[in-house]
Chains A and B, each alone.
Chain A
Amino acid sequence: MNPDQLGYYGDYGGRFVSELLMPALIELESAYGKLVKNKEFLKEYRDSLRDFAGRPTGLFWAKNLSEKWNAKIYLKREDLLHTGAHKINNTLGQTILAKWMGKTRVIAETGAGQHGVATATTCARYKIPCTIYMGEEDLRRQALNGFRMKLLGAEVVGVGGKKGTLRDAVSESLRDWAKNIDNTHYVLGSVVGPHPFPMIVREFQSVIGRESRMQILEHEKRLPDAVFACVGGGSNAMGIFYGFLDDENVKLVGVEAAGHGLNTNLHSAKLSKGMPGIFQGSLSYVLQDNSGMISDVHSISAGLDYPGVGPEHAYLKDTKRAHYESVTDKEALDAFQELSETEGIIPALESSHAIASTKKWIKKYNKSGSSPLVIINLSGRGDKDVAEVQRLLDL
C-alpha cells in the first residue's frame, strides 16, 4: 500500500527527525514523485539495472535441495547481481535520483557492507563523491567490504566505538545529513527511517517481486505456496513480498535473526519480540527496554543486526498479511553450509536465515502429506562471510 500524506502505513511510519531535516524529506518526496513519472529517468534506471547491475536475475529451481527437503524450491538469484546482493537495486535508483536532484555528494550507512559497497559502486559509476559510515564491529567482521568500498573511491568512516554496528552507522549518517543537507543525498539502505525512505526503497526493490511472480508463473503455471525472505531492515523482504501482496493464497514469511535464541538478550528479532516505538526516524517495532532505551542486539550476520524494522512490515504483521519467524545463528550457519554443498551456491549469512526457516516450515508442511512450492529470496552471496564463517567453524 502507499502511505498516507504523513507517511503512515496504518499506525506505523511517519517522520521522526529534527526540524533541520524536514525540508530535505519534503524535497525528496516531491522530487521522487515527479521523477517516477519521468520517462527519461525511468529509462536511465531500467537500463542501468539491466546493463550495469545484471537484471533480470534468474529464478532458479534448486533441484537437489528440493529432493532433499521434499518440496519444490526456487531461489530468486539476487546474489548474482553486481556487487552480490539486492542492495544495488536501491542504490542505483537513489543515486540516479540524487543526480537528477542536483546533489553533489552522497552518504550512506552500511551494516554487512553490502549496501556500502553498492552505494560506492553506483557513486563511482555516476561520478558522485560518497562517504560511507560503518560500525567498527562490522568493519572487523566484514573487513573485505571495508576495503572494497575504499577501492571504489569511497571515504569509509568507522563509527560507534568497538561495538559499533548498523544502528550507529544510521545515527551518524543522519547527523552528517543534518550538517550537509544542501548538497548531500542520504542513500538509506533499507525500508527504514523517515518517510519517504520506506516507500522509495520498497519501490526500487519491488522489481524483485515483479520478476519473481512472472518467472514462477512461467515455470510452474501457478503461484507459490509461500515466499521466504530474511528481514534486517526489511528491504529484500518488502521487495519480493510486493509482487505477491494481492495474492492472498501466497504465504509471505519474513525471517528474523534469533541469534543465540529468542529467550536470551542476544538476538535481533524485533517483530517477534519488540514493541512499537520511535527509532531512527519512524514508528515501528523496535527492541527496547521499559524506559524506551533501544536494546543492544545481536546476530551472526551484520546485515540483520539492527533493533528496528521498516514500518510497512509492522503494518503487514499487525494485519497478518505477512508472518514473521526467526532462526538462530546456529541454524543459519547450518543452512549456509547446506546450500553450499547441495547446490553449489554460497549464500550470504543474511539469506541463510531465510533458507533455514524454509526448511523448518517444509517439515511441518509435509506432515499434511503434500509438498509445497516455495520461493526463497536469495538476497546475497556469501563471499563476504567466508572468512567469518571459517573463524566460527574453527572454534
Chain B
Amino acid sequence: MPYLAAGDPDWENSLKIIDVLVNAGADTIEIGLPFTDPVADGPVLQKSFKRVLAQEFTMEKFFKFLSGIKKAHPHFPLLVMGYANIFYRMGFARILKQLGTYNVTGVIIPDIPYEEKMRLIKNEKLELLLQNISWVDFITPTTTKDRLIKICSSASGFLYFVSTKGVTGQSQFSLKPLQNIIRDVRKKTKTPILAGFGIRTAEHAREAASLTDGFIVGSRIHEIIEENLNKREFITIKLRTELTKLLSGIEHEKHLMA
C-alpha cells in the first residue's frame, strides 16, 4: 500500500500521482492529512507536510482532493492517516462521517494509542460510525504481551505493524527479529497485518510480503517527489519505474494492498 501526503508536491500533481499508484495495482492508498508537528515522522515525511502546508492548507482543500480521487476512481477505497489534533479540532464523529462519503474505509492516527482510542470511542459515541469505517491499531516492537492481546481483541480493518523502533523513513529494515510478535498476533486475530516504516527496496518488500499480508511504502515515494520538485512532470514517470522495481518478484495476492 502506498502512502501519499495529500497535496504533495501540489494539489494537481498529487492527483496525477494517485492515478499512477492506482494503475500500479495498489488495492488501497493511505492518504496523509498534513500536520504541523508530525512527531512520528522522519525528515522526509516532515518535509512533505511542510510543502503542503506552505500552500495554505484548509480542510476544504483536503476534501476537494478526496472528491477528485473519487471522481477519477469511483470505487477505489482509501485510508486516511492524520494526527490526533486534526480529528479533535473538526470533531471525531463529524470527520469520520465525512470521510465515509469519499470511500475512506479506515483511519490511522499515529498519536492515539489503544487506551485513548477506547476512551474517545466511548466519550464521543463512535461505536456505530466505526461499523462502517475502521480505526486501525498499531503493533510495534515494544508492544508488550498484555497490550498485544488487548489490541488484537478489538482490531478492525488491519493491524499496522511498525517494523522498527523510531519514526518513518529509517534506513534499516528487517522483520525477521520480529517474527515472534507476528506469530503472537496471528494467534490472537485474523485481522490482516500490514508492515510499515523503512520499506524502500524490492528486498524489503519481499521480506514484508513473506511475513505479513502487505506493506506500506511512504518515505521512498516522497523522496522521489522531493528529488523532482523542479521538474514535476517527471515525478509520475519516476514513480512508475520505482514501483515496478519495488514489486518485482512478489506475486500479486502476496502484495495485497502493496
CB atoms of A291 and B89 under 8 A apart: yes
CB atoms of A181 and B144 under 8 A apart: no
Tell me if B85 is interfacial: C-beta within 8 Å of chain A: yes
Interface residues of B in 98-139 (CB under 8 A from A): 110-116, 119, 137-139
Tell me the nearest residue of chain A to B123, going by C-beta: A11
Tell me if B84 is interfacial: C-beta within 8 Å of chain A: yes
Partner of A293, one of B36, B116, B144: B36
Partner of B147, one of A23, A178, A182, A277: A23
Question: Could you jot down 25 A-B contacts, CB within 8 Å?
Answer: A6-B115, A14-B119, A16-B113, A17-B111, A18-B40, A18-B110, A18-B138, A19-B151, A20-B138, A20-B166, A21-B142, A23-B143, A178-B40, A182-B165, A277-B85, A278-B85, A278-B111, A279-B37, A281-B111, A288-B89, A290-B58, A290-B59, A292-B85, A293-B35, A294-B37
Interface residues of B in 11-60 (CB under 8 A from A): 34-40, 42, 53, 57-59
Could you tell me which A residues sit within 8 Å of B by CB distance?
6, 14-24, 167, 171, 174-175, 178-182, 276-281, 283, 286, 288, 290-294
B141: A residues at CB distance < 8 A: 20
B167: A residues at CB distance < 8 A: 175, 178-179
A283: B residues at CB distance < 8 A: 88
Tell me the nearest residue of chain B to A22, going by C-beta: B113
- Given A280-B39, A294-B37, are A20 and B85 also a contact pair (CB < 8 Å)? no
A357 nearest CB across to chain B (Å): 29
B153 nearest CB across to chain A (Å): 15
Tell me if B162 is interfacial: C-beta within 8 Å of chain A: yes
A16: B residues at CB distance < 8 A: 84, 111-113, 116
CB atoms of A175 and B39 under 8 A apart: yes
CB atoms of A19 and B162 under 8 A apart: yes
Q: Determine the distance from Cα of A6 to Cα of B89 in the docked complex, in whole angstroms.
A: 21
CB atoms of A178 and B166 under 8 A apart: yes
Tell me the nearest residue of chain B to A276, going by C-beta: B88
Given known contacts A171-B38, A175-B167, A278-B83, what 6 new A-B pairs fall within 8 Å (CB)?
A6-B119, A19-B114, A175-B42, A178-B165, A278-B84, A293-B35
CB atoms of A278 and B88 under 8 A apart: yes
B142: A residues at CB distance < 8 A: 19-24, 181
B144: A residues at CB distance < 8 A: 23
Tell me if B90 is interfacial: C-beta within 8 Å of chain A: yes
CB atoms of A292 and B112 under 8 A apart: no
Q: Determine the distance from Cα of A242 to Cα of B39 in the docked complex, in whole angstroms.
A: 31
Q: Determine the distance from Cα of A22 to Cα of B146 in the docked complex, in whole angstroms.
A: 12
Q: 9 shortest A-B CB distances, which residue pairs?
A: A292-B89, A179-B166, A19-B138, A278-B84, A292-B86, A292-B85, A278-B85, A20-B140, A294-B36
Could you tell me which B residues sit within 8 Å of A by CB distance?
34-40, 42, 53, 57-59, 83-90, 110-116, 119, 137-144, 147, 151, 162, 165-167, 170
CB atoms of A292 and B90 under 8 A apart: yes
A273 nearest CB across to chain B (Å): 15
Q: Determine the distance from Cα of A95 to Cα of B37 in the docked complex, in whole angstroms.
A: 27
Q: Determine the distance from Cα of A6 to Cα of B114 in the docked complex, in whole angstroms.
A: 11
B113: A residues at CB distance < 8 A: 15-19, 22
CB atoms of B85 and A18 under 8 A apart: no
Residue among B34, B42, B89 with most chain A CB within 10 A: B89
A168 nearest CB across to chain B (Å): 8
Q: Determine the distance from Cα of A294 to Cα of B86 in the docked complex, in whole angstroms.
A: 10
Residue among A174, A178, A182 with most chain B CB within 10 A: A178
B119: A residues at CB distance < 8 A: 6, 14
B88: A residues at CB distance < 8 A: 276-278, 283, 292
Residue among A17, A181, A293 with most chain B CB within 10 A: A293
Partner of B53, one of A15, A171, A174, A293: A293
B120 nearest CB across to chain A (Å): 10
B88 nearest CB across to chain A (Å): 5
Partner of A181, one of B39, B40, B53, B165: B165
CB atoms of B89 and A290 under 8 A apart: yes
Q: Determine the distance from Cα of A23 to Cα of B170 in the docked complex, in whole angstroms.
A: 21
CB atoms of B37 and A167 under 8 A apart: yes
CB atoms of A20 and B86 under 8 A apart: no
A17: B residues at CB distance < 8 A: 39, 111, 113
A104 nearest CB across to chain B (Å): 16
Q: Determine the distance from Cα of A291 to Cα of B137 in the docked complex, in whole angstroms.
A: 24
Q: Determine the distance from Cα of A182 to Cα of B164 in the docked complex, in whole angstroms.
A: 13
A293: B residues at CB distance < 8 A: 34-36, 53, 57
A174: B residues at CB distance < 8 A: 39
Q: Determine the distance from Cα of A288 to Cα of B83 in the docked complex, in whole angstroms.
A: 14
B143: A residues at CB distance < 8 A: 19, 22-23
